[in-house]
A and B are shown apart, each in its own frame.
Chain A
Amino acid sequence: MTTVEEQLLPSAEPVCLIDQNGVPHDHPSYRLPTKEALLDGYTQLIRGRRFNDQASALVRQGRLAVYPSSFGQEACQLAATMVLRDGDWLFPTYRDSVSIMSRGVDPIETLTLLRGDWHSGYDPYEHKVAPQATPLATQLPHAVGVAHAARLKGEDTVVMALVGDGGTSEGDFHEALNFAAVFQAPVVFFIQNNEYAISVPLSRQSAAPSLAHKGIGYGVPGERADGNDLAGLLAVLGQAVDKARAGEGPQLIEAHTYRVQAHTNADDASRYRQDDEVAPWLDRDPIERLTTYLEQQGWLDDDVRVTAEAGAVEVAAQLRDGLMPEPEVDPADLFAHLYAAETQQLQQQAAFLRDELAREEA
């Protein structure tokens, strides 16, 4: 018999099924994903890493206004979407472009926000991906609402709600967990704890033993996983999604990972952390350990490597080509999407701008 507290508390150590040396480990509660899942994950990791690298390069070339990279966090990004079904929802933050892209959203539309063309470039209903949230944790109550509405309608939708370590300090994080628990909404709250909120380290966000421990206060089971181990993440998130779908209510998962690069290109990480802090995390890279494991299993044949590399080359080309032309932006759009029926006042302001532009052209 386990106590209620034991059911709600996370594992003593983050779940890790393949360690940083590529060595597999048994776990009493989680099984290694299948060969097919790991090979698919490998292919997606290679593509996700290339997406991050290419997007960062395009910032330097002035093609993107800003890019918050998830370099080093790709296993979290991909596991979050690999465990979902088509009808499930994803609620991403600004650092989750790789998640969004892997959900099927067009890579260029994924970057509309960061390119500065519009706030959100994709149709949220097409792939069930909410607009990227730049305020912290405000998307979490929305995720609860989508999940609760789905339950009222008798659908078995699960909502994957992403948040960072800094976001767990916001009130909306706590209200969302509490609401989800009270209404038993099928939400998986997935914290990517990358140790930093811009410059502020985790120790200044929370004194809790882990962020996954925050679940117990709301009656939400918490679990923690090695955020650079795709195998462990797939197992832990997959189980959480299954439980939420089965009617067991919300789940809270914390991934321990690390923001290898600066917050964005506009940030200077050397002002608040030392290189020797970063170095050990490079050894825990999610791609290297999975590659080692797959090689040792004899599963990483040329076909897989070629397919993976082709996917990476394709996404890089998509970004380069898609972001190369100077985007067309239409000033009339400024007024087009505020209300179903444009107010008289907005019509007048739109006319003012049209006239102003006409005079400039004349």
Chain B
Amino acid sequence: MTHTKISMAQALNQALRDAMTADESVVMFGEDVGALGGVFRITDGLTAEFGDKRCFDTPLAEAGIVGMAVGMAMNGMRPVVEMQFDAFGYPAFEQVVSHVAKMRNRTRGRVQLPMVIRIPYGGGIGGVEHHSDSSESYFAHTPGLTVVTPATVADAYGLLRRAIEFPDPVVFMEPKKLYWAKEEVDLTESQPGIGTAVVRRDGADATLIAYGPAVPVALEAAEVAAAEGRQLTVVDLRSVVPFDDETVCAAVRRTGRAVVVAEASGFASVSSEIVARVTEKCFHSLAAPVRRVTAFDIPFPPPKLEKYQLPSVDRILDAVDDLQWEDS
């Protein structure tokens, strides 16, 4: 297979197409995913190719969508459902936390739910109110869920394939601001395992720990830092749950300093969990308290103000500068 230049949206589309070809129990449904191909075109062409029993529109009701997926997964299917936008997935919250997450546990493993809930999430696309939330912490906090989020085109393909094959329900968070950027990739080589983080860049001085939409920003910051003489490691979590303590802690121990970068608000979040874990496990390797670059603890702002809310290269570099390189 040769390398082709495609976007994350196209890679996700290809992953769905390949999964539906490989396994006829895979079905895709949600709002506008049929003829339209999804508002982000992730399901483009699937109804035409596989028919409307395999990829279909539903009534506009997210609890119904997720609840129906639970029943279909109970009865031998592998449903993939799309929540059209992050904040529009909240009506399904009870189904996700009380049923999707708990079915295996409450039935002692007798009922498994191999299903994927795809959620386009995050800001950076000029979306109006309720179109830019980072909702991963709600799901990461819920035992029984697996939560993954790709930051590259290749990972988008590989993670979605793994998620659909996974025996347990996966919340698949798609950073929508990364949908359109293209990369040269060979999709057949994309084999990210669920639960494994990856080191995107090696550097001896400090570690940036990021996931999803924050990863490209962290990489850009590392590029600038290198030019200024500081070599930064960048870890891309890919999988929020299960959390890859090993890869994260190895990087932190090697570098002795760390900054967590996330697009979500910081309070009681995935980023605070990462700081807690790193501090608990790597305390004697740390030369400075772990810093965070996150969104403010405010509702996601209107488009004209969102640049103040999103992690930026400058904020990351400032946080790195604050890692007590010298005693004050």
Contact = CB atoms under 8 A, between A and B. Distances in A.
| A and B found bound together | yes
A178 B104 contact: no
B61 A178 contact: yes
B106 A149 contact: no
B148 to A, nearest CB: 13
B74 A340 contact: no
A263 interface: no
Contacts of A313: none
A125 interface: yes
A171 B110 CA distance: 28
Contact of A138 (B27, B69, B95, B112): B95
A118 B195 contact: no
A98 interface: no
Interface string B99-113: 100111111111110
A319 interface: no
B19 interface: no
A144 B76 CA distance: 14
Contacts of A92: none
Contacts of A135: 94, 98
A142 interface: yes
Contact of A179 (B59, B105, B110, B243): B59
Given A145-B69, A182-B59, A152 B168 contact: no
A357 to B, nearest CB: 21
26 contacts: A119-B105, A123-B107, A124-B74, A125-B111, A131-B111, A138-B94, A138-B95, A141-B95, A142-B68, A142-B70, A144-B71, A145-B69, A145-B79, A147-B71, A148-B72, A149-B74, A172-B64, A172-B94, A179-B68, A337-B107, A337-B108, A339-B146, A339-B242, A343-B195, A343-B243, A345-B242
A140 B64 CA distance: 9
B284 interface: no
Contacts of B91: 171
A120 interface: yes
A interface: dominant SS: helix
Contact of B68 (A124, A144, A333, A340): A144
Contact of A337 (B53, B77, B105): B105
Contacts of B111: 124-125, 131
B63 A336 contact: no
Contact of A149 (B76, B98, B99): B76
A197 interface: no
A182 B146 CA distance: 31
Nearest to B75: A149
Interface string A152-184: 110000000000000000011001101100100
Interface in B106-122: 106-112
Contacts of B144: 338-339
B186 interface: no
Given A179-B61, A337-B104, A153 B76 contact: yes
B143 interface: yes
A98 to B, nearest CB: 21
A146 B64 contact: no
Nearest to B68: A145
A176 B67 contact: yes
Given A138-B95, A336-B109, A130 B64 contact: no
B59 A141 contact: no
Contacts of B306: none
